[in-house]
Amino acid sequence: MMLAPLPDKYYLTHARELFSFLEQHCDHLLGPEHQQYLRRFTSLSDDSQCLLVRMLARKPRFIRRDSLNYAEIDNLDSAVTELADNDYVNTVMVDDWCEFSPHLTKAELLACLEPTPIQVKKSTSKAELVSIVTQTLRGDEPSLFAIRDAWLARRQQTIVDYLLFLYFGDLNNRLQKFAMRDLGVLKTRQRSSTTVARFSSIEQAEHAYKLHQLRRDYHANPNQVREETIDYLHANARGEISANTEKVKDKLILQVAHDLVKNDHQRAIELLQQSDHPTALEKWVRTRYQNEDRELLRSELEHLKTTSLSAEKKLFIEDFYQRKFEGKRTSVYTDMLREAGRELSIDECYLGNVEEGVLQRYRQLGNQAWFTENKLWHVIFGFTLWPILFDGKGAQHTEFDFMPIALRDPEFYRNNQSKIEQQLSILDHPELAVRSFTRLAANQYGTPTGLFRWSATLLDSLIPCLQHAPPNALANVVREMARNYEQSKSGYPDLMVLDQQGLRFEEVKAPGDVLRPNQLLAIERLRKAGAAVDICQVAWATDPNQIYAVVDIETTGGKRGGNAITEIAVVRVKNQSVISEWSTLVNPGRPIPAHITRLTGINNQMVASAPNFGEVATELEQQLDGAVFVAHNVGFDYGFIKAAFDHLGRKFKKPKYCTVQHARKAFPGLRSYSLGNLTASLDIDLKNAHRALDDARATAHLLTLIQAELV
């Protein structure tokens, strides 16, 4: 689809839209310096406004002058001068030297050192050069004037970051979102009649902004900002904070405490007390148990058990107390796994994708099964309460904010109880719910919700869930989510299965997997609501009836971008015997380079009358149906074929098996694991290397040797 071109100076229109929003809706969050920045902007000439916005859209604060080539700016020098006069930009100053030097190239850094007696090798890494330059030079040396003058630096960056933070809610530069919206690439929620600023006071906004800054800076350089971060968190432990900012604060506390706990557990404990997150409580308890008076901790846990806590916190404290102070041998998570409802043997080719293996196994048994996890419940919740969450004139921050503000209110259910109960009643009538939800999906498809992503298969699991779920079960779950969305939005079982016994949900666990607290709570929530839930314990096995489709392709080049398939072969193997072979040349739609022809023997004349990939795609799918995708260096062949299906707009996903990786396990110590060397080492016949069918036959032989060795 061709996108319509954006109008001239579209970015300036976007900046004016953003600044106007701040002046209209966030005036109470702006200090004098922010108001002055916006006021001065409106007084600039169009050229200067255009140049400033172009510079704001770039991530680095330092920008080369010669990169500022914009046809719509009539007088660049005049615009630079006006921006400098108003302190929006300036040349790189001496005080900028340490921050600026990493933006220079290696050649420029070496040039900086030429007037000095310091000798460095050209092979010195850039990071080492930056360190040498910043330690050796102050930035005011005459030899650096020309380099500094070749750059411009944005000024008042903290003010700019704060203004963008008020609009977008984070520190990422997201100005490009406006252009994506205008191009139709990014759908937004149309602004409602009530626009609400993210923060109620400038103190709350500045506190949130500082926490975001500290988290960003701590991630980049923890040692440099650790003490500042700890001091700020202690000094502002009771600072006014929004729900979204609470998450940022919790993550920051957990990150700093994790780094502190080994060398200064007392400070880590003090810091963890400032967070209400369940993980912080768990770390606080475990750290104290390892380092402090355990009887004192026991007494405090007994007190905590009598207080009002979230379900996840209560679960952890009860479990920890029983194991550490009452002699219980195993955790509640282990107990639940041991009481798993069913066991299933799955072919080991699904290692790393165990849920897909269980899905395929159930389908082989004639059952219906879907991967649902959290998304199904987010869809049911969103569809059921759509009129309350999205159809009204409720408040929102900006059109780029998708999560309904109402869900951040802990009183959401209480404030909307009668409306919510009215909407829940539709779930008592499955066929009515199916018709209503199908109509809603057709009318609202693609509308951002913040709850789930739309897909063409969205209704595939939703409809059978509505039709077969026990009475009241769905309404009970949605009601609980409405009461506390944040604590009940995750942990739901991986699969939904429909068989002769009815509808059930399954949490799939491979050997070594553990049950997480939110998963245990979600299982209990569903069971309490009336749904059937099992834990499926998987055992790895080699299924003799599993079909392995050994694939080899030839291409016009080694990289997917700009190259295409010229030949495909599939050799199907079952129980270590070849059961079928299939191959075809493919017209790549582009010339085959001479060096590729020399390698493969496939030339342009041979593929001129061959089918293109679209013409063989369906037959290839049939060859791969129900089989494990096998190749020597599987990422190469799988990647090219998936890209070709993607180009057709068709989904491609198969379990993969790499004969390179498994040959290393089966035959350790060989000099090389290339197909050519393996065929020589293992006496495998390979007559025409780099032709798809011959390579696939050799790889199939290799597969049977690997399987025989690894049994």
Catalytic residue among 212, 378, 690, 701: 690
Inter-helix orientation angle 473-483/417-424, to 10° = 160
Please give the structure tokens belonging to residue 512. Answer: 């070594």
Give the residue among 523, 526, 529, 498 at the shortest CA–CA distance from 509: 523
Full strand arrangement of the beta sheet holding 502-509: 342-347, 533-541, 502-509, 495-499, 368-371
Give the residue among 458, 452, 455 at the shortest CA–CA distance from 402: 452
Please give the structure tokens belonging to residue 656. Answer: 């993969």
Give residues with Cβ within 8 angstroms of 204, minimum separation 6.
Answer: 239, 240, 241, 242, 245
Please give the structure tokens belonging to residue 230. Answer: 């700890």
Task: Please tell me what DSSP assigns to residue 65.
Answer: G
Q: CA 639, 641, 643 angle in degrees (round to 5)? A: 65
Compute the half-sphere exposure of residue 424: CA atoms within 13 Å on the CB side of its CA: 19
Q: Residue 516 burial (CB < 10 Å; 0-12/13-18/19+)?
A: middle
For 89, the 3-state DSSP assignment is strand
Q: CA 497, 498, 503 angle in degrees (round to 5)? A: 90
Task: Please tell me what DSSP assigns to residue 472.
Answer: T
Please give the structure tokens belonging to residue 65. Answer: 């002058």
Give residues with Cβ within 8 angstroms of 598, minimum separation 6.
Answer: none
- For the chain, the distance separating the N- and C-terminal CA atoms, rounded to the nearest angstrom, is 52
Task: Please tell me what DSSP assigns to residue 408.
Answer: G
Give the residue among 19, 18, 75, 67 at the shortest CA–CA distance from 48: 75
Rg, C-alpha atoms of the chain: 31
Q: What phi and psi, each to the nearest 5 degrees, are found at residue 541? A: -150, 170
Please give the structure tokens belonging to residue 90. Answer: 């300036």
- Is 28 an annotated catalytic residue? no
CB 392, CB 385: distance < 8 Å: no
CA distance 479 to 574: 50
Task: Please tell me what DSSP assigns to residue 225.
Answer: H
Q: 570: which strand partners?
A: 551, 582
Catalytic residues: 690
